[in-house]
Structure 1
Amino acid sequence: MNTLQQSTPARLHHLQIVTGQPETMVDFYQRMLDLRIVEVHADSTVLAGPARAMVIGRSDGGIEPHYGYAVADASALEALKRQLSGRDLPYRTIEDPMFAPGAIVITDPQGRRLAFGVAAQACDYAGPPARLQHTVFQTTDLDNIVRFYVEKVGFAISDEVVDADGVVMVVFMRSDDEHHTLAFFRGSNNEWDHHCYETSEWNDIRDWGDRFAAAEVPIFFGPGRHGPGNNLFFMVTDPDGNRLEFSAELGRVAADTLPGVWPQSERTLNSWGRAWIRS
Protein backbone atom coordinates (compact mmCIF):
# COMPACT_ATOMS: atom_id res chain seq x y z
CA MET A 1 0.00 0.00 0.00
CA ASN A 2 1.29 3.45 -0.90
CA THR A 3 1.87 5.65 2.11
CA LEU A 4 1.39 9.39 2.28
CA GLN A 5 5.16 9.72 2.33
CA GLN A 6 5.47 7.84 -0.95
CA SER A 7 2.52 9.22 -2.89
CA THR A 8 1.18 12.48 -1.44
CA PRO A 9 3.52 13.79 1.29
CA ALA A 10 1.67 15.92 3.83
CA ARG A 11 3.00 18.28 6.49
CA LEU A 12 1.24 19.69 9.50
CA HIS A 13 0.29 23.21 8.42
CA HIS A 14 -2.07 24.66 11.03
CA LEU A 15 -4.32 23.91 13.98
CA GLN A 16 -7.96 24.76 14.54
CA ILE A 17 -8.71 24.78 18.26
CA VAL A 18 -11.61 25.90 20.44
CA THR A 19 -11.45 27.66 23.78
CA GLY A 20 -13.59 29.32 26.40
CA GLN A 21 -11.17 32.25 26.57
CA PRO A 22 -10.44 33.19 22.95
CA GLU A 23 -9.15 36.70 23.65
CA THR A 24 -6.58 35.40 26.13
CA MET A 25 -5.47 32.64 23.78
CA VAL A 26 -5.17 34.98 20.80
CA ASP A 27 -3.07 37.36 22.90
CA PHE A 28 -0.78 34.52 24.04
CA TYR A 29 -0.07 33.22 20.54
CA GLN A 30 0.44 36.72 19.21
CA ARG A 31 2.95 37.61 21.92
CA MET A 32 4.74 34.32 22.32
CA LEU A 33 4.77 32.86 18.79
CA ASP A 34 4.63 36.03 16.67
CA LEU A 35 1.31 35.10 15.09
CA ARG A 36 -0.63 37.92 13.44
CA ILE A 37 -4.38 38.25 13.10
CA VAL A 38 -5.29 37.86 9.42
CA GLU A 39 -9.05 37.33 9.69
CA VAL A 40 -11.67 37.84 12.38
CA HIS A 41 -15.03 36.06 12.24
CA ALA A 42 -17.95 35.99 14.63
CA ASP A 43 -16.83 32.70 16.14
CA SER A 44 -13.09 32.50 15.34
CA THR A 45 -9.84 34.36 14.78
CA VAL A 46 -7.34 33.31 12.13
CA LEU A 47 -3.67 33.83 12.95
CA ALA A 48 -0.58 33.23 10.83
CA GLY A 49 3.14 33.57 11.37
CA PRO A 50 6.45 32.26 10.04
CA ALA A 51 5.67 28.63 9.04
CA ARG A 52 2.98 28.35 11.69
CA ALA A 53 -0.73 29.17 11.79
CA MET A 54 -3.78 28.66 13.94
CA VAL A 55 -7.53 29.18 13.96
CA ILE A 56 -8.80 29.93 17.46
CA GLY A 57 -12.54 29.42 17.83
CA ARG A 58 -14.99 30.09 20.61
CA SER A 59 -16.08 26.89 22.36
CA ASP A 60 -19.69 28.11 22.15
CA GLY A 61 -19.37 29.15 18.52
CA GLY A 62 -20.24 25.88 16.83
CA ILE A 63 -16.87 25.19 15.16
CA GLU A 64 -14.96 21.95 15.77
CA PRO A 65 -11.23 21.47 16.26
CA HIS A 66 -9.17 19.93 13.49
CA TYR A 67 -5.54 19.53 12.50
CA GLY A 68 -4.67 20.77 9.02
CA TYR A 69 -2.15 18.88 6.86
CA ALA A 70 -1.00 20.51 3.63
CA VAL A 71 -0.16 18.61 0.44
CA ALA A 72 1.91 20.03 -2.39
CA ASP A 73 -0.78 21.07 -4.87
CA ALA A 74 -4.25 20.41 -6.23
CA SER A 75 -3.17 17.29 -8.14
CA ALA A 76 -1.74 15.78 -4.95
CA LEU A 77 -4.99 16.52 -3.14
CA GLU A 78 -6.99 14.80 -5.89
CA ALA A 79 -4.67 11.80 -5.69
CA LEU A 80 -5.20 11.65 -1.94
CA LYS A 81 -8.97 11.75 -2.39
CA ARG A 82 -8.77 8.80 -4.79
CA GLN A 83 -6.63 6.85 -2.32
CA LEU A 84 -9.03 7.50 0.56
CA SER A 85 -12.00 6.45 -1.57
CA GLY A 86 -10.13 3.30 -2.60
CA ARG A 87 -9.71 2.44 1.09
CA ASP A 88 -13.41 3.09 1.81
CA LEU A 89 -12.60 6.03 4.03
CA PRO A 90 -15.30 8.70 3.77
CA TYR A 91 -14.34 12.35 3.67
CA ARG A 92 -16.20 15.58 3.14
CA THR A 93 -15.21 18.96 1.82
CA ILE A 94 -14.50 21.68 4.34
CA GLU A 95 -14.13 25.44 4.26
CA ASP A 96 -10.85 26.22 5.97
CA PRO A 97 -9.45 29.77 5.86
CA MET A 98 -5.88 28.45 5.67
CA PHE A 99 -6.57 26.13 2.71
CA ALA A 100 -7.56 26.78 -0.88
CA PRO A 101 -11.06 25.62 -1.94
CA GLY A 102 -11.41 21.85 -2.19
CA ALA A 103 -9.93 20.92 1.20
CA ILE A 104 -11.31 17.80 2.86
CA VAL A 105 -11.70 16.51 6.40
CA ILE A 106 -11.72 12.95 7.77
CA THR A 107 -12.82 11.77 11.20
CA ASP A 108 -11.13 8.94 13.08
CA PRO A 109 -13.04 6.33 15.14
CA GLN A 110 -12.74 8.45 18.30
CA GLY A 111 -13.85 11.69 16.70
CA ARG A 112 -10.56 13.46 15.94
CA ARG A 113 -10.63 15.39 12.69
CA LEU A 114 -7.75 15.78 10.23
CA ALA A 115 -8.10 18.18 7.32
CA PHE A 116 -6.05 17.93 4.13
CA GLY A 117 -5.68 20.72 1.62
CA VAL A 118 -3.43 23.03 -0.36
CA ALA A 119 -2.07 25.99 1.57
CA ALA A 120 -3.91 29.15 0.56
CA GLN A 121 -0.87 31.37 0.98
CA ALA A 122 2.76 31.12 1.99
CA CYS A 123 3.48 31.86 5.65
CA ASP A 124 6.24 34.36 4.84
CA TYR A 125 6.00 36.38 8.04
CA ALA A 126 9.14 37.39 9.93
CA GLY A 127 10.00 35.84 13.26
CA PRO A 128 12.25 33.31 14.98
CA PRO A 129 12.23 29.83 13.44
CA ALA A 130 9.60 27.46 14.81
CA ARG A 131 7.76 25.54 12.09
CA LEU A 132 4.56 23.80 13.17
CA GLN A 133 5.61 20.20 12.72
CA HIS A 134 3.64 17.55 14.60
CA THR A 135 0.73 16.91 16.90
CA VAL A 136 0.23 14.13 19.45
CA PHE A 137 -2.74 12.58 21.23
CA GLN A 138 -3.48 10.21 24.07
CA THR A 139 -5.94 7.42 23.29
CA THR A 140 -7.71 4.63 25.14
CA ASP A 141 -7.73 2.48 21.99
CA LEU A 142 -4.21 2.70 20.61
CA ASP A 143 -4.23 -0.46 18.50
CA ASN A 144 -7.35 0.40 16.51
CA ILE A 145 -6.45 4.07 16.16
CA VAL A 146 -3.02 3.23 14.76
CA ARG A 147 -4.56 0.68 12.40
CA PHE A 148 -6.94 3.38 11.13
CA TYR A 149 -4.21 5.93 10.45
CA VAL A 150 -1.90 3.39 8.79
CA GLU A 151 -4.38 1.29 6.79
CA LYS A 152 -6.99 3.93 5.96
CA VAL A 153 -5.15 7.26 5.88
CA GLY A 154 -1.67 6.13 4.83
CA PHE A 155 0.62 7.16 7.67
CA ALA A 156 3.77 5.04 8.15
CA ILE A 157 5.09 3.89 11.52
CA SER A 158 8.57 5.17 12.35
CA ASP A 159 8.97 3.90 15.93
CA GLU A 160 7.06 2.10 18.64
CA VAL A 161 7.60 2.18 22.41
CA VAL A 162 6.85 -1.17 24.08
CA ASP A 163 6.47 -1.97 27.78
CA ALA A 164 7.98 -4.92 29.65
CA ASP A 165 4.98 -7.13 28.76
CA GLY A 166 5.33 -6.42 25.05
CA VAL A 167 2.38 -4.03 24.91
CA VAL A 168 2.82 -1.13 22.50
CA MET A 169 2.46 2.11 24.47
CA VAL A 170 3.47 4.82 21.97
CA VAL A 171 3.46 4.95 18.17
CA PHE A 172 5.22 7.64 16.12
CA MET A 173 3.94 8.01 12.55
CA ARG A 174 5.09 10.02 9.54
CA SER A 175 3.35 11.52 6.52
CA ASP A 176 6.52 12.81 4.85
CA ASP A 177 10.26 12.26 5.38
CA GLU A 178 10.33 13.59 8.95
CA HIS A 179 10.31 11.05 11.76
CA HIS A 180 6.78 11.87 12.90
CA THR A 181 4.05 14.33 12.09
CA LEU A 182 1.53 12.47 14.26
CA ALA A 183 1.87 10.26 17.34
CA PHE A 184 -0.32 8.49 19.87
CA PHE A 185 0.27 7.48 23.50
CA ARG A 186 -1.78 4.75 25.16
CA GLY A 187 -3.53 6.45 28.08
CA SER A 188 -6.57 6.55 30.32
CA ASN A 189 -8.09 9.50 28.43
CA ASN A 190 -8.79 10.52 24.86
CA GLU A 191 -7.22 13.95 24.72
CA TRP A 192 -4.88 16.24 22.85
CA ASP A 193 -1.40 15.66 24.24
CA HIS A 194 0.72 18.41 22.62
CA HIS A 195 1.76 20.13 19.43
CA CYS A 196 5.32 20.82 18.34
CA TYR A 197 7.31 23.56 16.62
CA GLU A 198 10.55 22.53 14.90
CA THR A 199 13.38 25.06 15.10
CA SER A 200 16.67 25.18 13.20
CA GLU A 201 19.26 24.33 15.85
CA TRP A 202 20.11 24.12 19.54
CA ASN A 203 20.63 27.88 19.83
CA ASP A 204 17.00 28.36 18.79
CA ILE A 205 15.92 26.13 21.67
CA ARG A 206 17.92 28.42 23.98
CA ASP A 207 16.34 31.55 22.52
CA TRP A 208 12.79 30.22 22.79
CA GLY A 209 13.51 29.16 26.36
CA ASP A 210 14.70 32.69 27.13
CA ARG A 211 11.55 34.14 25.57
CA PHE A 212 9.22 32.04 27.71
CA ALA A 213 11.33 32.71 30.80
CA ALA A 214 11.08 36.46 30.24
CA ALA A 215 7.28 36.09 30.06
CA GLU A 216 7.33 33.95 33.23
CA VAL A 217 5.99 30.90 31.37
CA PRO A 218 7.84 27.99 33.01
CA ILE A 219 9.20 24.91 31.23
CA PHE A 220 7.44 21.83 32.60
CA PHE A 221 9.32 19.11 30.66
CA GLY A 222 12.89 19.34 29.38
CA PRO A 223 15.17 20.49 28.06
CA GLY A 224 16.19 17.07 26.91
CA ARG A 225 16.51 14.72 23.94
CA HIS A 226 13.94 12.16 22.85
CA GLY A 227 15.08 8.68 21.85
CA PRO A 228 12.59 8.16 18.99
CA GLY A 229 13.27 10.98 16.55
CA ASN A 230 16.50 11.97 18.34
CA ASN A 231 15.25 15.55 18.70
CA LEU A 232 16.16 18.13 21.32
CA PHE A 233 13.10 19.58 23.05
CA PHE A 234 11.36 21.40 25.84
CA MET A 235 7.67 21.92 26.64
CA VAL A 236 5.55 24.77 28.01
CA THR A 237 1.78 25.32 28.29
CA ASP A 238 -0.59 27.96 26.95
CA PRO A 239 -3.36 29.63 29.03
CA ASP A 240 -5.72 26.69 28.38
CA GLY A 241 -3.10 24.19 29.53
CA ASN A 242 -2.40 22.95 25.99
CA ARG A 243 1.19 21.77 25.75
CA LEU A 244 3.62 23.28 23.25
CA GLU A 245 6.88 21.54 22.39
CA PHE A 246 9.87 23.27 20.83
CA SER A 247 12.20 20.90 19.02
CA ALA A 248 15.40 20.75 16.98
CA GLU A 249 17.26 18.10 14.98
CA LEU A 250 14.25 15.83 14.39
CA GLY A 251 15.40 12.85 12.38
CA ARG A 252 14.35 11.94 8.85
CA VAL A 253 13.27 8.46 7.81
CA ALA A 254 13.48 6.81 4.39
CA ALA A 255 10.25 5.35 3.02
CA ASP A 256 11.51 1.76 3.13
CA THR A 257 12.73 1.91 6.76
CA LEU A 258 11.21 -0.68 9.10
CA PRO A 259 9.70 0.60 12.35
CA GLY A 260 12.04 0.81 15.32
CA VAL A 261 11.20 -0.58 18.74
CA TRP A 262 12.11 1.16 21.99
CA PRO A 263 11.60 0.05 25.61
CA GLN A 264 9.18 2.08 27.69
CA SER A 265 11.47 3.97 30.05
CA GLU A 266 12.37 7.47 31.08
CA ARG A 267 15.55 7.34 28.98
CA THR A 268 13.53 6.53 25.86
CA LEU A 269 11.39 9.64 26.27
CA ASN A 270 14.32 11.73 27.54
CA SER A 271 17.80 10.33 27.11
CA TRP A 272 19.14 13.16 29.30
CA GLY A 273 17.18 12.29 32.41
CA ARG A 274 13.70 12.49 33.90
CA ALA A 275 10.69 12.08 31.64
CA TRP A 276 6.98 12.78 31.67
CA ILE A 277 5.30 9.35 31.54
CA ARG A 278 1.66 9.39 30.44
CA SER A 279 -0.81 7.18 32.29
Structure 2
Amino acid sequence: MLQAKLSHVALRSADPAGTRQFYEDVVGLRTVVADRPRAQLALGGAHVVELHDGQGLDHFALEVVDQAQFRALSERLSAHGIAVAPAADADHPDGIRFADPEGHVIEVHGRIDRTGEGVRADGRRPTGLHHITLTSPDVPALTAFYRDVLGFVVSDRMADRFAWMRCNREHHTVAIVQGEVGGLDHYCFEVSDWEDVKDWCDLLAVRDVPVSWGPGRHGPGNNVFIMFDDPDGVHIELSCEMERFWDDRVEYPEPRNWAAELRTVNLWGPAPEWRRPLEAPAA
Protein backbone atom coordinates (compact mmCIF):
# COMPACT_ATOMS: atom_id res chain seq x y z
CA MET A 1 0.00 0.00 0.00
CA LEU A 2 1.24 3.46 -0.92
CA GLN A 3 1.90 5.65 2.13
CA ALA A 4 1.20 9.24 1.14
CA LYS A 5 -1.11 12.20 1.60
CA LEU A 6 -2.50 14.94 -0.59
CA SER A 7 0.03 17.77 -0.71
CA HIS A 8 -1.50 20.42 -2.96
CA VAL A 9 -4.08 21.00 -5.67
CA ALA A 10 -3.15 23.18 -8.66
CA LEU A 11 -6.08 24.90 -10.37
CA ARG A 12 -6.32 26.96 -13.53
CA SER A 13 -8.30 30.16 -13.14
CA ALA A 14 -9.74 32.74 -15.54
CA ASP A 15 -8.83 35.41 -12.96
CA PRO A 16 -5.97 34.12 -10.77
CA ALA A 17 -5.67 37.40 -8.84
CA GLY A 18 -9.38 37.51 -8.00
CA THR A 19 -9.49 33.83 -7.15
CA ARG A 20 -6.42 34.21 -4.93
CA GLN A 21 -8.24 36.97 -3.04
CA PHE A 22 -11.20 34.62 -2.57
CA TYR A 23 -8.98 31.92 -1.09
CA GLU A 24 -7.43 34.46 1.27
CA ASP A 25 -10.67 36.14 2.37
CA VAL A 26 -13.04 33.16 2.42
CA VAL A 27 -10.93 30.02 2.90
CA GLY A 28 -8.33 31.65 5.12
CA LEU A 29 -5.24 30.68 3.13
CA ARG A 30 -2.09 32.79 3.10
CA THR A 31 -0.35 33.76 -0.14
CA VAL A 32 3.29 32.67 -0.15
CA VAL A 33 3.93 33.28 -3.88
CA ALA A 34 1.84 35.91 -5.68
CA ASP A 35 3.54 36.13 -9.07
CA ARG A 36 2.26 34.50 -12.23
CA PRO A 37 2.32 31.98 -13.82
CA ARG A 38 1.41 30.31 -10.51
CA ALA A 39 0.31 31.82 -7.26
CA GLN A 40 0.78 29.61 -4.21
CA LEU A 41 -1.32 29.67 -1.05
CA ALA A 42 -0.65 27.89 2.24
CA LEU A 43 -2.23 27.06 5.56
CA GLY A 44 1.10 27.54 7.27
CA GLY A 45 4.15 25.79 5.83
CA ALA A 46 4.30 24.54 2.25
CA HIS A 47 1.54 25.58 -0.13
CA VAL A 48 -1.71 23.60 -0.48
CA VAL A 49 -3.26 25.45 -3.46
CA GLU A 50 -1.69 26.71 -6.68
CA LEU A 51 -3.41 29.01 -9.16
CA HIS A 52 -2.43 29.04 -12.84
CA ASP A 53 -3.91 30.86 -15.82
CA GLY A 54 -6.57 28.94 -17.72
CA GLN A 55 -9.41 26.61 -16.80
CA GLY A 56 -9.76 23.29 -14.96
CA LEU A 57 -7.36 21.13 -12.98
CA ASP A 58 -3.66 21.62 -13.71
CA HIS A 59 -2.35 18.87 -11.41
CA PHE A 60 -2.40 17.54 -7.89
CA ALA A 61 0.48 16.41 -5.71
CA LEU A 62 1.11 13.60 -3.24
CA GLU A 63 3.68 13.66 -0.45
CA VAL A 64 5.19 10.24 0.30
CA VAL A 65 6.31 9.43 3.83
CA ASP A 66 9.89 8.35 3.08
CA GLN A 67 12.43 7.50 0.40
CA ALA A 68 11.52 3.81 0.45
CA GLN A 69 7.97 4.69 -0.63
CA PHE A 70 9.31 7.06 -3.27
CA ARG A 71 11.60 4.37 -4.73
CA ALA A 72 8.88 1.72 -4.69
CA LEU A 73 6.44 4.00 -6.51
CA SER A 74 9.09 4.98 -9.08
CA GLU A 75 9.79 1.30 -9.75
CA ARG A 76 6.09 0.50 -10.24
CA LEU A 77 5.71 3.40 -12.67
CA SER A 78 8.73 2.20 -14.64
CA ALA A 79 7.47 -1.40 -14.68
CA HIS A 80 4.14 -0.24 -16.13
CA GLY A 81 5.78 1.97 -18.77
CA ILE A 82 4.52 5.26 -17.29
CA ALA A 83 6.50 8.23 -18.61
CA VAL A 84 7.97 10.25 -15.72
CA ALA A 85 9.52 13.73 -15.76
CA PRO A 86 11.15 15.81 -13.04
CA ALA A 87 8.90 18.20 -11.12
CA ALA A 88 11.29 20.73 -9.62
CA ASP A 89 9.88 22.84 -6.81
CA ALA A 90 11.91 24.64 -4.16
CA ASP A 91 9.74 23.52 -1.22
CA HIS A 92 8.80 20.08 -2.64
CA PRO A 93 11.94 17.91 -2.74
CA ASP A 94 12.68 15.05 -5.14
CA GLY A 95 9.60 15.62 -7.26
CA ILE A 96 8.44 13.55 -10.22
CA ARG A 97 5.55 14.21 -12.58
CA PHE A 98 3.37 11.86 -14.67
CA ALA A 99 -0.21 11.46 -15.89
CA ASP A 100 -2.88 8.86 -15.22
CA PRO A 101 -4.80 7.25 -18.13
CA GLU A 102 -7.44 10.03 -18.08
CA GLY A 103 -4.78 12.75 -18.34
CA HIS A 104 -4.86 13.93 -14.73
CA VAL A 105 -1.31 15.12 -14.00
CA ILE A 106 0.15 13.93 -10.70
CA GLU A 107 3.25 15.12 -8.89
CA VAL A 108 4.88 13.01 -6.17
CA HIS A 109 7.52 14.37 -3.82
CA GLY A 110 9.22 13.86 -0.46
CA ARG A 111 8.49 15.29 2.97
CA ILE A 112 7.55 18.97 3.27
CA ASP A 113 7.03 21.58 5.98
CA ARG A 114 3.52 21.26 7.44
CA THR A 115 3.88 23.96 10.08
CA GLY A 116 0.49 25.37 11.06
CA GLU A 117 -1.59 22.42 9.87
CA GLY A 118 -3.69 20.21 12.12
CA VAL A 119 -4.52 23.08 14.48
CA ARG A 120 -8.06 24.26 15.16
CA ALA A 121 -8.43 27.79 13.84
CA ASP A 122 -11.80 28.94 15.24
CA GLY A 123 -13.64 28.33 11.97
CA ARG A 124 -11.54 30.80 10.01
CA ARG A 125 -9.07 28.38 8.45
CA PRO A 126 -9.15 24.64 7.65
CA THR A 127 -6.85 22.31 9.55
CA GLY A 128 -5.46 20.71 6.38
CA LEU A 129 -5.93 19.64 2.79
CA HIS A 130 -7.70 16.27 2.77
CA HIS A 131 -8.72 14.65 -0.53
CA ILE A 132 -9.43 15.13 -4.22
CA THR A 133 -12.19 13.59 -6.34
CA LEU A 134 -11.62 13.10 -10.07
CA THR A 135 -14.07 12.40 -12.88
CA SER A 136 -13.74 9.58 -15.40
CA PRO A 137 -15.97 7.96 -18.05
CA ASP A 138 -14.56 4.56 -16.95
CA VAL A 139 -14.39 4.48 -13.16
CA PRO A 140 -13.34 0.80 -12.84
CA ALA A 141 -10.44 1.19 -15.29
CA LEU A 142 -9.08 4.33 -13.64
CA THR A 143 -9.55 2.81 -10.20
CA ALA A 144 -7.45 -0.15 -11.33
CA PHE A 145 -4.62 2.22 -12.30
CA TYR A 146 -4.55 3.86 -8.89
CA ARG A 147 -4.75 0.48 -7.16
CA ASP A 148 -2.35 -1.59 -9.27
CA VAL A 149 0.17 1.02 -10.39
CA LEU A 150 0.17 3.64 -7.64
CA GLY A 151 -0.59 1.33 -4.74
CA PHE A 152 -3.87 2.76 -3.39
CA VAL A 153 -6.39 0.55 -1.58
CA VAL A 154 -10.09 0.74 -2.43
CA SER A 155 -12.14 1.48 0.70
CA ASP A 156 -15.64 1.65 -0.84
CA ARG A 157 -17.39 1.47 -4.20
CA MET A 158 -20.77 2.59 -5.45
CA ALA A 159 -21.35 0.04 -8.23
CA ASP A 160 -19.20 1.15 -11.21
CA ARG A 161 -19.97 4.84 -10.66
CA PHE A 162 -17.84 5.88 -7.69
CA ALA A 163 -14.71 4.59 -5.93
CA TRP A 164 -13.02 5.87 -2.77
CA MET A 165 -9.34 4.98 -2.29
CA ARG A 166 -6.90 5.36 0.59
CA CYS A 167 -3.12 5.70 0.86
CA ASN A 168 -3.04 6.40 4.61
CA ARG A 169 -5.42 5.88 7.52
CA GLU A 170 -8.04 8.26 6.15
CA HIS A 171 -10.95 6.61 4.28
CA HIS A 172 -9.91 8.25 1.01
CA THR A 173 -7.30 10.58 -0.38
CA VAL A 174 -8.34 10.10 -4.02
CA ALA A 175 -11.87 9.30 -5.18
CA ILE A 176 -13.14 8.74 -8.72
CA VAL A 177 -16.67 9.52 -9.84
CA GLN A 178 -18.38 8.89 -13.15
CA GLY A 179 -18.20 11.78 -15.61
CA GLU A 180 -18.21 12.32 -19.35
CA VAL A 181 -14.51 13.21 -19.41
CA GLY A 182 -11.59 13.24 -16.99
CA GLY A 183 -11.28 16.29 -14.77
CA LEU A 184 -11.83 17.66 -11.28
CA ASP A 185 -15.08 16.93 -9.48
CA HIS A 186 -14.15 18.59 -6.17
CA TYR A 187 -11.43 18.77 -3.57
CA CYS A 188 -11.66 18.90 0.20
CA PHE A 189 -10.21 20.62 3.24
CA GLU A 190 -10.51 19.09 6.68
CA VAL A 191 -12.04 21.07 9.56
CA SER A 192 -12.15 20.19 13.24
CA ASP A 193 -15.66 19.01 14.09
CA TRP A 194 -19.38 19.62 13.74
CA GLU A 195 -19.16 22.90 15.66
CA ASP A 196 -16.54 24.03 13.16
CA VAL A 197 -18.86 23.15 10.25
CA LYS A 198 -21.57 25.30 11.81
CA ASP A 199 -19.15 28.19 12.23
CA TRP A 200 -18.08 27.84 8.61
CA CYS A 201 -21.70 28.03 7.43
CA ASP A 202 -22.07 31.29 9.35
CA LEU A 203 -18.78 32.62 7.97
CA LEU A 204 -19.80 31.80 4.40
CA ALA A 205 -23.13 33.57 4.98
CA VAL A 206 -21.31 36.70 6.15
CA ARG A 207 -19.17 36.54 2.99
CA ASP A 208 -22.28 36.04 0.78
CA VAL A 209 -20.93 32.69 -0.41
CA PRO A 210 -23.82 30.19 -0.69
CA VAL A 211 -23.46 26.67 0.65
CA SER A 212 -24.17 24.62 -2.49
CA TRP A 213 -24.53 21.25 -0.73
CA GLY A 214 -25.02 20.29 2.89
CA PRO A 215 -24.64 20.12 5.73
CA GLY A 216 -24.81 16.41 5.07
CA ARG A 217 -23.16 13.09 5.90
CA HIS A 218 -21.64 10.86 3.25
CA GLY A 219 -22.22 7.12 3.49
CA PRO A 220 -18.74 6.09 2.31
CA GLY A 221 -16.36 7.71 4.80
CA ASN A 222 -19.18 8.63 7.23
CA ASN A 223 -17.93 12.23 7.22
CA VAL A 224 -19.98 15.36 7.82
CA PHE A 225 -19.56 17.92 5.02
CA ILE A 226 -20.56 21.13 3.32
CA MET A 227 -19.66 22.35 -0.16
CA PHE A 228 -19.35 25.75 -1.79
CA ASP A 229 -17.82 27.05 -5.04
CA ASP A 230 -14.85 29.28 -5.75
CA PRO A 231 -15.15 32.06 -8.41
CA ASP A 232 -14.29 29.58 -11.19
CA GLY A 233 -17.04 27.19 -10.14
CA VAL A 234 -14.68 24.69 -8.50
CA HIS A 235 -16.51 22.68 -5.84
CA ILE A 236 -14.75 23.00 -2.46
CA GLU A 237 -15.69 20.62 0.34
CA LEU A 238 -15.15 21.10 4.07
CA SER A 239 -15.29 17.84 5.98
CA CYS A 240 -14.82 16.34 9.43
CA GLU A 241 -15.20 12.99 11.23
CA MET A 242 -13.80 10.95 8.33
CA GLU A 243 -13.64 7.19 8.91
CA ARG A 244 -10.14 5.80 9.46
CA PHE A 245 -8.60 2.46 8.55
CA TRP A 246 -5.84 0.73 10.53
CA ASP A 247 -4.20 -1.42 7.87
CA ASP A 248 -1.12 -2.03 10.01
CA ARG A 249 -3.29 -3.67 12.69
CA VAL A 250 -6.37 -5.07 10.97
CA GLU A 251 -6.90 -7.15 7.83
CA TYR A 252 -9.92 -5.62 6.14
CA PRO A 253 -12.29 -7.55 3.86
CA GLU A 254 -13.03 -6.61 0.27
CA PRO A 255 -14.25 -3.05 -0.38
CA ARG A 256 -17.84 -2.40 0.58
CA ASN A 257 -20.23 -1.88 -2.33
CA TRP A 258 -22.86 0.81 -1.72
CA ALA A 259 -26.18 1.09 -3.52
CA ALA A 260 -26.22 3.35 -6.59
CA GLU A 261 -28.57 5.91 -5.08
CA LEU A 262 -28.34 9.48 -3.85
CA ARG A 263 -28.74 8.45 -0.20
CA THR A 264 -25.28 6.85 -0.49
CA VAL A 265 -23.60 10.21 -1.09
CA ASN A 266 -25.74 11.97 1.50
CA LEU A 267 -27.37 9.84 4.18
CA TRP A 268 -29.36 12.91 5.25
CA GLY A 269 -31.08 13.10 1.88
CA PRO A 270 -30.68 16.09 -0.47
CA ALA A 271 -28.16 16.33 -3.30
CA PRO A 272 -27.55 19.05 -5.90
CA GLU A 273 -28.44 18.61 -9.56
CA TRP A 274 -24.80 18.10 -10.59
CA ARG A 275 -24.62 14.99 -8.39
CA ARG A 276 -27.96 13.47 -9.46
CA PRO A 277 -26.70 11.63 -12.59
CA LEU A 278 -25.11 9.09 -10.22
CA GLU A 279 -28.49 7.71 -9.18
CA ALA A 280 -29.54 4.47 -10.86
CA PRO A 281 -32.63 4.86 -13.09
CA ALA A 282 -35.86 3.50 -11.73
CA ALA A 283 -36.68 -0.05 -12.81
Q: Counterparts of 2:129 and 2:184 in 1: how far apart (Å)?
A: 15
Q: Counterparts of 1:184 and 1:236 in 2: how far apart (Å)?
A: 19
Match of 2:13 among 16, 19, 23: 19
**Is 1:89 aligned to 2:82, yes or no?**
yes
Q: Which residue of 2 aligns with 1:36?
A: 30
Paired residues, number: 265
What RMSD, in angstroms, separates the aligned Cα atoms of the two structures?
A: 2.1
Q: CA deviation at 1:187?
A: 2.2
**Is 1:204 aligned to 2:189, yes or no?**
no
**Is 1:147 aligned to 2:144, yes or no?**
yes
Q: CA deviation at 1:208?
A: 1.3
Q: Which residue of 1 aligns with 2:135?
A: 138
Query: Structure 1 201/76 Cα, relative in aligned 2: closer, same or farther at 3 Å?
Result: same
SS at match of 1:65: strand
CA contact (8 A) 2:104 2:182 kept: no
Q: Counterparts of 1:248 and 1:50 in 2: how far apart (Å)?
A: 20
**CA shift digits 1:115-136 (9 cap, x unpaired):** 1112442242774343111000
Match of 2:229 among 237, 258, 270: 237
* Segment drifting more, 67-76 vs 173-182: 67-76
**CA shift digits 1:97-140 (9 cap, x unpaired):** 5412x211120112101111124422427743431110002211
Query: Structure 1 44/222 Cα, relative in aligned 2: closer, same or farther at 3 Å?
Result: same
Q: CA deviation at 1:262?
A: 0.5
SS at match of 1:205: helix
CA contact (8 A) 1:89 1:152 kept: no
Q: Which amino acid aligns with 1:78?
A: R
Query: Structure 1 17/96 Cα, relative in aligned 2: closer, same or farther at 3 Å?
Result: farther
- Gaps of at least 5 residues in structure 2 are 278-283
CA contact (8 A) 1:130 1:197 kept: yes
The 5 A counterparts of 1:97-176 are 97-100=90-93, 102-124=94-116, 127=121, 128-162=125-159, 168-176=160-168
The 5 A counterparts of 1:222-233 are 222-233=214-225
Length-normalised TM-score, structure 2: 0.87
Q: Which residue of 2 aligns with 1:46?
A: 40
- Gaps of at least 5 residues in structure 1 are 163-167
Q: Which residue of 1 aligns with 2:72?
A: 79
CA contact (8 A) 2:103 2:182 kept: no
The list of structure 1 runs, each at least 4 consecutive aligned residues, that deviate by more than 4 angstroms after superposition, is none
Percent identity over paired residues: 32
CA contact (8 A) 1:142 1:186 kept: yes
**CA shift digits 1:71-104 (9 cap, x unpaired):** 123443233223332444332211235412x211
